[in-house]
Amino acid sequence: MLPQKQAEEAIVSNFSETEHEGKEEEKEEENSMFSVKNFLWHGGSAWDAWFSCASNQVAQVLLTLPYSFSQLGMLSGILFQIFYGLVGSWTAYLISVLYIEYRSRKEKENVSFKNHVIQWFEVLDGLLGPYWKAVGLAFNCTFLLFGSVIQLIACASNIYYINDHLDKRTWTYIFGACCATTVFIPSFHNYRIWAFLGLGMTTYTAWYLAIAALVHGQVEGVTHTGPKKLVLYFTGATNILYTFGGHAVTVEIMHAMWKPQKFKYIYLLATLYVFTLTIPSATAVYWAFGDELLNHSNAFSLLPKTGFRDAAVILMLIHQFITFGFACTPLYFVWEKVIGMHDTKSICLRALARLPVVIPIWFLAIIFPFFGPINSAVGALLVSFTVYIVPSLAHMLTYRKASARQNAAEKPPSFLPSWTAMYVVNTFVVVWVLVVGFGFGGWASMTNFVKQVDTFGLFAKCYQCKPPVPPPAVAAPPTSNTTHHP
């Protein structure tokens, strides 16, 4: 019993030190309240984490959820949102527990993380070994890569509804250059004002969609036939699985907190707020336009052009720039570690080193310009493993031994106090997502994705754009029937 007691004391001691450091940083923050730079730039509170999680969950997916409802039908759309929101919150909780377990073990070995950002693949490596590190690295990096691609495509798609003088591919070139400036944001500590503004912008856009659809009313002869086909049904379900799968940056957000132990329920609270945005907006737009949405993956395309809509488009564009940064920052960290630049203090030098990460993202956005089908494909093939299956399996394997459960840095939660119950929930998540998300969802989303490629081709210049209006025909000059007599 003595070694166990010593281990527990060591964990308490280490987290006391971490908490002490957090308090010191918090005091520094309070002392510099009137410093504009610190107020806007340097954040690590529980509120900062909440804003980051909520802001990161809802971006362009707000605009594709009505499209998903047209594939699923109203009832299934609402139920899938609630179900995947709760399952996503559960796996985010598991990730937070594994992070704390990893950090407590490393701090017992006197490892310092002062100039090092812990990432998910490192947690897997420390707890389960190099094979799990490779799995975490592969899934996370690929997911974040395509998540960034989706943001770029969505930027071009949205701005087109304000200014259609340029085609969407040209807008992708322009926004690719704009989003490349995120290389100058050092870490998630520095997203305080951006996360706050991003959530405000998304809130406006969500309620604009809901109110504008209700004011517009139902289109003439509206039909709500979903679910119509099995392929469409599982494509829509997988898009919603993607919606609540923003966990690829969870560890980085936790690491930016002064007290990462407080993160446990933050993702759930963020999800509950996100429900107030996604369910009313998707329901109202689907009610108004029905089956028309099957051919319009971006909800903006069906709403009339007004000042309110243009404001929503502009705010969503800014938020997508922020979300691009959220998705790319972990990729920047990985690349910095690969080339040995992660400890460099010069922001300009790090920014220069990060640029090669942006180029392939830019290129892929030009190749595949249809973000609705990509959402579903990424959800089925990447999010299902990254966000749901891998964390559940990792938690079960980390605590498979009685000694690991006995010395766990975090015990089971109060609402599920038994390790057996946690294993049952984790097994259900793995089986459900493997069969429904990856299996049926993968088949449906890839079928839909291939169909889009066959229909529009790669490098499409302007995907789902209105056909150009032909110029008015010039009337031919009237021919004279007058006969001239000599």
Give pLDDT tens digits for 303-334.
988 999 989 988 988 888 888 888 888 899 99
Dist CA 162 CA 165 (whole Å): 9
Q: What is the mean pLDDT of the chain?
A: 81
Instruction: List the one residue out of 270, 181, 223, 218 whose CA is nearest residue 70.
Output: 223
Angle (nearest 5°) at CA 461 between 456 and 295 = 45
Q: Mean per-residue pLDDT for 225-230?
A: 84
Helix (H/G/I), strand (E/B), else coil: 269? helix
Dist CA 80 CA 273 (whole Å): 16
| Residue-level pLDDT at 371 | 58
| Residue-level pLDDT at 318 | 86
> Quick one: angle between helices 168-179 and 307-339, nearest 10?
50
Share of the chain above pLDDT 90, in %: 29
Q: Mean per-residue pLDDT for 85-102?
A: 93
| Residue-level pLDDT at 464 | 54
Positions of E strands within 119-227: none
Dist CA 251 CA 248 (whole Å): 8
> Quick one: angle between helices 390-398 and 120-128, nearest 10?
30
| Helices of type H across 34-179 | 36-41, 46-57, 61-72, 74-108, 120-128, 130-159, 168-179
Dist CA 63 CA 237 (whole Å): 15
Dist CA 44 CA 57 (whole Å): 19
Give pTM, 2 decimals. 0.82
Report residue 353: phi and psi, to 5°: -65, -25
| Helices of type H across 180-265 | 192-216, 230-243, 250-255
Task: Mark residue 459 as left, alpha or beta (left: phi above 0; alpha: psi -120 to 50; beta: remaining).
Answer: left
- For the chain, the straight-line distance linking the first and the last C-alpha, in angstroms and rounded, comes to 130
Instruction: List the one residue out of 363, 358, 213 whose CA is nearest residue 296.
Output: 213
Grade residue 42 by pLDDT with cuts at 50, 70 and 90.
Answer: low
Which residue, chain included where needed, has tokens 């998707």?
282
The answer to whether residue 23 scores a pLDDT higher than 60 is no
